[in-house]
């Protein structure tokens, strides 16, 4: 996206649509926000998978797990 000069606007983060004034600083801040959100999403997905595996293990031990 950077190479094609595409603008990403996240509607739930209105600050992403505003410019700070300094184009380099503006791009840095927006890139940082996107990287932080991506990291959080990855951590949430990993934790969700871990909890799912834990639940499946408990369900198997209790004899109630059925794979559809």
| Domain boundary assignment for the chain | 14-61
pLDDT digits (tens, 9 = 90+) for 4-61: 777 767 777 777 667 667 788 888 888 888 899 999 999 999 999 999 999 999 999 9
Spatial CA neighbour of 33 closest among 47, 61, 14: 14
Contact, 16 vs 7, CB < 8 A? no
Instruction: Tokens 């949430």: give the residue.
Output: 44
Tokens of 3: 């190479």
At 24 the pLDDT is 84
How many Å separate Cα 27 from the centre of its chain? 19
Tokens of 56: 């499946």
């Amino acid at each position: 996206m950077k190479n094609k000069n595409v603008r990403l606007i996240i509607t739930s983060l209105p600050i992403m649509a505003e410019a700070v004034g300094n184009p380099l600083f503006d791009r840095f801040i927006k890139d940082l926000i996107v990287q932080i959100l991506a990291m959080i999403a990855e951590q949430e997905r990993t934790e969700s998978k871990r909890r799912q595996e834990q639940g499946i293990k408990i369900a198997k031990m209790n004899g109630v797990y059925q794979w559809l």
